[in-house]
Structure 1
Amino acid sequence: MKIMKKPTRKEEKLYQITTLVAGGFALGDVLDRLARGVVDITGASACSIRLLDDETGNLKMRSTFGLSEEYRNKGPVTKDDPVIKAAFAGEAVIIDDMRDDARIKYRQASAKEGLISQLTVAMQFKNKPVGVLRLYRPRVGGFTEDDIALARSVASQCAVAITNAKYYARAIQGEQVAQQVKLAGIIQRRMIPESAPKMPHLDIAALYNPCFGVGGDLYDFIKLDRDNLAITIADVIGKGIPAALMMSSFRGMIRAYADGGHKRHTMAEIISKLNSAACDECRDGEFITLFYAIINTKEMTMTYCNCGHEPGLLRRGGKIRELKKGGLVLGVMKEAEYEIEKIELKDEDRLLFYTDGLIDAVNFDEKAWGVNNLYKIFREAARGAAHETVHNILAWRRRFIGLAHQTDDTSIVVVRVSDKNG
């Protein structure tokens, strides 16, 4: 029976450092453990670990053991330092007496710290330098070939451990961002109404489908009084969280101006106020498209304004009319003027409001579904309840695009008008 040789203390310490490579530790913890472990293994009096900043070219002190705070902050070290250059070129640089070596930039600080000799080796990962490991002793010379071999071995483990720790930190950060995006998506979807208010003569269905978890689309229903329902659909030009934040703010503006000012202000005045507020909020290149409509179920009319949005569609008797009256997108020019149109609604009319993500959806050949397909389906398949029309439109679009990934949000609202009260 073969008796296993008991590992030496150095071998045990080296094994402990090796385990850091596989450990899921934060970068600061890894560096502190490595600095202490290297001193224990080599018998040096102190250790410093500097990591290379690719942007500045400086080597930033990230961890030390056995060094004072004053020495840690003695001054910058760059990759152009002669010792660093030699280490990055593959040398193990030994300085026997730091007190009178011209390569030492901070000789006075080293003497005050009681450091006499120094060993510097590079930490490399996949032949790319990531930093340096330095060992110090309080006497002249003393670093041997064994020390160099051990320092190189430890530096190699350091490089891998540091790289893994960076990946670990990025993974944690990615998870946190993903959680924030998920939470933002939940909050945004709570702002999108699950259903429209019950109004006589109207059957309404809607759907919102963000492509990035959160996005810049919005639709809303505001019951202004017993007979009037405001329907809004809008699109912030942008994607993800910034667009969602802008849209949530804009939704609040719409509700404040529409709900509170419906009887005090004309629609043109409300749109003008929304445009002015959007101009204050939007930055260069940002703007908002909006289709704003008020349906009066007593008079059976719809008053609307299209602010640079996709035209609303009115289907009547197999024919489609585009609802384009309005003006410029919001958030570009405060002096912009807007037209308002009032149309009569009839039994079995269908209204369709949507964002451009509906028609801009592409298949694997990068061909867009397009407005012609939408008009054809809306003309031919707009039968039954409003939710059936929504389903039919999206089903036909899905047949066209298949499983191709989309890059824009989709919002769709369908209104079916009935002369029956309910």
Structure 2
Amino acid sequence: MANELEQIKAEELLDLNVLQDMQEGFAGLTGLSIMVCKTSGEPLTRPTLGHRLCRKFHEHTDMASRCLEHMLAAAKAISINGPVKMVNSFSGTPIFVSPITVENNRIATIVVCANPCSCAQDRSVEQIAEQTKLPVGEVRELLEKTPKLEDDQLEATLTLIHSLATTLAKLSLREYQLRLRLGELTILHNLTSLLAGRSDLDQILKITAEQVVQVVKGKGCSIRIYNPDTKELQIKAVANLSQAYLRKGPLKLADSPIDQAALSGTPVPIENMLTDPRVIYKKEAEREGIISGLAVGMIYRGRGVGVIHLYGSGPQAYDRFEIECLKAIASQAASAIINAQLYQESIEAERTQRQLKMAGEVQRRMLPKRSPKMVKVDIGSVYEPTYLVGGDYYDFLELSGGRLGVVIADVAGKGVPASLQMVSLKATLRAYADQAPDLQTLVKMTDKVFRRDSLLGDFATLLIGIIDPEKGTFDYVNAGHYPALLVRDSKIEQQKVSGPALAIFDKPEFTPYTIELEPSDEIVLYTDGFLDAMNFDHHGFGLDRLRASIMKYSHLSAQKIAENVLWDVRRFVGLSTQADDMSMVVVKYNP
């Protein structure tokens, strides 16, 4: 791309009326004639005639034309950054020229004419009269009335001309910078309008790639998105490039110093991709007809999102405007990409939430809808998951002889994994319940299957008991679960544990126990959620509060006991978020 300043004219950067006023002020102060020329050699301002001889020349059309021709020729001869230069016109008048430069580009030239007698080689009055076709006496009179510049005055004049050129250059540069900023803001506004409200990531990337090519005038563009998990960059969008280029495989960030620098916030210009040792896909670049490149990172709040690559069809150096413009686009695109990703994540989270809700409903349907009714035995139960699905589980198994199996278990973990293992545990227990000759064997069989289907570190606690209302007994095996609580005669006794939790050892042993029930006995089975429930002061509900709560409601029915204990826990924790499920089964013996 050609340098942007080469296309900018001085008349577009400077107010010509202001420039004319400055020029006339200079002429009035110094008595010198002055004008400003375009880079093409054409006048930019009207000549201001500061001394009498110049004004006399301009009364004659042919001399005025020759004078102007010499001034414009001097303006063309000046170099871009050269010092103030002095040449002589046809009449011997010294002409001083000084360039006005912005960013190493000449946008105009100042031309100043002095007294002919001020040049290094003074001419006689006769020579000047001969060159100008004026009478000798008139020339002598004009020269006498026009001050001659001495050496120190000439040096001061040169300094003043240079200062004037510098001032005009600064004014032009400020105007140019303002235009750059305005251009960037316009680009950002247009890009923002195009990206606003879009949630489709592919569309965002496609629009961004097209805008880069259109705004920065490149041959093509590719956008690579960074995956922090794989440490790879994958091309997700291209503009003016083939689909084969789009299908290039992922690029390891560690293998690309260009992308590393871009993602760290440093733009990377590449003058020739075919010879630059940092470029990995040289053959692909040659096939696409791309030579130069500019890589700019898309960064959002310090986080590297991806890299925009702008490509050119020939070797070139990118100027500051192109780099700043691409940085502005990359910043806007990074924000849009993050927003689109967050939107997609919210959609996925909502979908997952719906699925979890459905899974929770399925899980709750797997729990008993209501506690069973039995002669001589009153049973109550409650269940409150922390998440939509959980690992707590209780069940009732109808057995022969009017007996009832009561199960409560807690699978390690929370959420979906724990709920799936809970389903597996329930299915195993029900499958072996009619096959096992006793509780000890049933728990061993269940442990074997659960251990086989579990990963290292998975386990579950289980308490299973059988109520025989006719015999008045409660036989149970406790595999690492919290001990059952027996309420008798206004006292609470903690019962024994039979062995380790499930899936801990290869060949565990479980000791069976029997409770000989007495009238009004209550057996309470619970999970650790009741003990671990925390309030805002980080105090747990604990075993003491649980025992006190059970005793407070022991005169109620089994269901009311369970429900009121749960309410006590809720009142204790308030609005504090809980970390574990809560399940409770209460068995009350009323012969």
Residues 1:406 and 2:581 are matched in the alignment: no
Distance of 2:437 and 2:249 partners within structure 1:
68
TM-score by length of 1: 0.86
Decide whether the 8 Å contact of 2:264 with 2:304 is kept in 1.
no
2:485 corresponds to which of 313, 317, 322: 313
1:122 aligns with 2:294: no
Aligned twin of 1:45: 219
**Residue 248 of structure 1, CA deviation:** 0.8
Return the alpha-carbon distance in structure 2 between the equivalents of residues 78 and 337 of structure 1.
55
1:173 equivalent to 2:348? Answer yes
Shift of 1:228: 1.1
Normalised TM-score (structure 2): 0.63
Q: 2:542 aligns with which of 362, 370, 395?
A: 370
- Please, which of 161, 182, 186 is the counterpart of residue 357 of structure 2? 182
Say if 1:398 and 1:15 are closer, same or farther in 2 by CA, change over 3 A.
Answer: closer
| 1:272 maps onto 2:444 in alignment | yes
- Matched residue type, 2:218: A
Q: Distance in 1 between matches of 2:234 and 2:532?
A: 49
Residue 568 of structure 2 is aligned to residue 393 of structure 1: no
Structure 1 pair 75/107, CA: closer, same or farther in 2 (3 Å)? farther
Given that residues 227 and 296 in structure 1 are in contact (C-alpha distance below 8 angstroms), is that contact kept between their aligned partners in structure 2?
yes
Give the match for residue 312 of structure 2.
137
| Alpha-carbon distance in structure 2 between the residues aligned to 1:86 and 1:309 | 57
**Cα distance change on mapping 1:89 and 1:185 into 2, 3 Å:** closer
Partner SS state of residue 310, structure 2: strand
Task: Give CA-to-partner distance per residue, 1:128-170, whole Å, 9 cap, x none.
Answer: 4433212223344496665444433322221211222222232
Partner of residue 345, structure 1: 517
Which region of structure 1 is more displaced relative to structure 2, 211-220 or 330-339? 330-339
What secondary structure sits across from 1:51 in the alignment?
strand
Report if aligned partners of 1:303, 1:342 keep a CA contact under 8 Å in 2.
yes
Amino acid at match of 1:236: V
Q: What CA distance in whole angstroms lies between the structure 2 residues aligned with 1:96 and 1:373?
A: 76
Which structure 2 residues correspond to residues 57-68 of structure 1 after superposition, within 5 A? 57-68=231-242
Secondary structure of 2:378's counterpart equals: strand
Matched, 1:34 2:214: no
Higher RCO (Cα < 8 Å, 6 or more apart) = 1
Which residue does 2:466 correspond to in 1? 294
Q: Deviations over 1:249-308 (max 9, x none)?
A: 0001111111x32xx612222122112222212332222111111112233322211112
Partners of 2:400 and 2:491 in 1: how far apart?
31
Q: Within the alignment, does 1:417 sit opposite 2:561 as a pair? A: no
Matches of 2:441 and 2:261, distance apart in 1: 73
Cα separation, 2, equivalents of 1:75 and 1:223? 60
Distance 1:92 1:330 in 2: 59
1:67-110 CA distance string (max 9 Å, x none) = 23443427736467454466457665444443444554433332
Letter in 1 for 2:192: T
What's 1:3 paired with? Answer: none
Aligned to 1:6: none
- Decide which structure has the larger Cα Rg and report it: 2
Count of residue correspondences: 408
Residues 271/105 of structure 1: CA separation in 2 closer, same or farther (3 Å cut): closer
Measure the CA separation in 2 of the matches of 1:57 and 1:276. Answer: 42
1:48, distance to aligned residue in structure 2 (A): 0.4
Kindly tell me: are residues 148 and 310 of structure 1, through their superposed partners in 2, closer, same or farther at Cα, counting changes over 3 Å? Answer: closer
Q: What value does the CA root-mean-square deviation take over the aligned residues?
A: 2.9
Cα distance in 2 for residues equivalent to 1:22 and 1:230: 62
Separation (CA, whole Å) in 2 of partners of 1:227 and 1:167: 57
Secondary structure, in 3 states, of the residue corresponding to 1:232? Answer: strand
Q: Which runs of 5+ in 1 are unaligned?
A: 1-9
CA–CA distance in structure 1, aligned partners of residues 264 and 559 of structure 2: 69
- Amino acid of the structure 2 residue aligned with 1:194: K
Q: What one-letter code is carried by the residue in structure 1 that aligns with 2:561? A: T
Letter in 1 for 2:226: L
Is the alpha carbon distance of 1:156 and 1:222 closer, same or farther for their aligned partners in structure 2, counting shifts above 3 Å? same
Select the residue among 304, 326, 351 that pairs with 2:498. 326
**Equivalent of 1:355, from 527, 532, 535?**
527
In 2, Cα distance between the equivalents of 1:68 and 1:306?
68
- In the alignment, the residues of structure 2 paired with residue 325 and residue 85 of structure 1 have an alpha-carbon distance, to the nearest angstrom, of 59
- Which deviates further from its counterpart, 187-196 or 137-146? 137-146
Tell me by how many angstroms 1:350 deviates.
1.6
| Matched AA of 2:562 | V
- Which amino acid in 2 is paired with 1:329? A
2:569, 2:527 → 1: CA distance? 14
2:379 counterpart of 1:207: no
Q: Does the residue aligned with 2:293 lie in a helix, a strand or coil?
A: strand
Structure 2 alignment gaps of length 5 or more: 1-183
Counterpart code for 2:204:
V
Partner of 1:153: 328
Per-residue Cα deviation, 1:319-353 (whole angstroms, up to 9, x for no partner): 33333252222222242222222333333222211
The 3 A distance-change label for structure 1 pair 287 and 85 is closer
2:221, 2:310 within 8 Å by CA — same for their partners in 1? yes
CA contact (8 A) 2:233 2:250 kept: no
Counterpart residue identity of residue 410, structure 1: M
Q: Does the aligned pair in 2 maintain the 1:26–1:168 contact within 8 Å?
A: no
Q: Which residue of 1 aligns with 2:369?
A: 194
2:22 is matched with which residue?
none
Per the alignment, in what secondary structure is the counterpart of residue 327 of structure 1?
coil
Instruction: Report sequence identity in percent.
Output: 36
What SS does the aligned partner of 1:320 have? Answer: strand
**C-alpha distance in 1, partners of 2:504/2:497?**
18
CA distance in 2, matches of 1:135, 1:229: 75
Aligned equivalents of 2:453, 2:252: Cα separation in 1: 45
Instruction: Using the TM superposition, name which of 10-19 and 210-219 deviates more.
Output: 10-19
2:295, 2:307 within 8 Å by CA — same for their partners in 1? yes
Cα displacement (A) at 1:411 = 0.6
Residue of structure 2 aligned with 1:223, choices 398, 405, 409: 398
Q: Confirm or deny: 8 A CA contact 1:49 1:132 kept in the other structure.
A: yes
Distance 1:308 1:103 in 2: 62
**What amino acid does structure 2 have at the position aligned with 1:173?**
E
Give the residue type in structure 2 aligned to 1:19. Answer: S
Cα 1:302–1:114 shift into 2, 3 Å: same
Closer, same or farther: CA 169–292 of 1 in aligned 2, 3 Å: same
> How many angstroms apart in 2 are the aligned matches of 1:32 and 1:146?
23
- The residue aligned with 1:18 is 192
> What is the distance in 2 between the residues matched to 1:346 and 1:251?
30
CA–CA separation in structure 2 for the residues paired with 1:356 and 1:143: 67
Distance in 2 separating the partners of 1:155 and 1:325: 64
- Structure 2 CA distance for partners of 1:152 and 1:313, relative to 1, 3 Å: closer
Report the residue type matching 2:310 in the other structure.
Answer: L
Q: Deviations over 1:7-55 (max 9, x none)?
A: xxx9998655313554241323321232233334444332101233445
> 1-side partners of 2:514 and 2:244: how far apart?
77
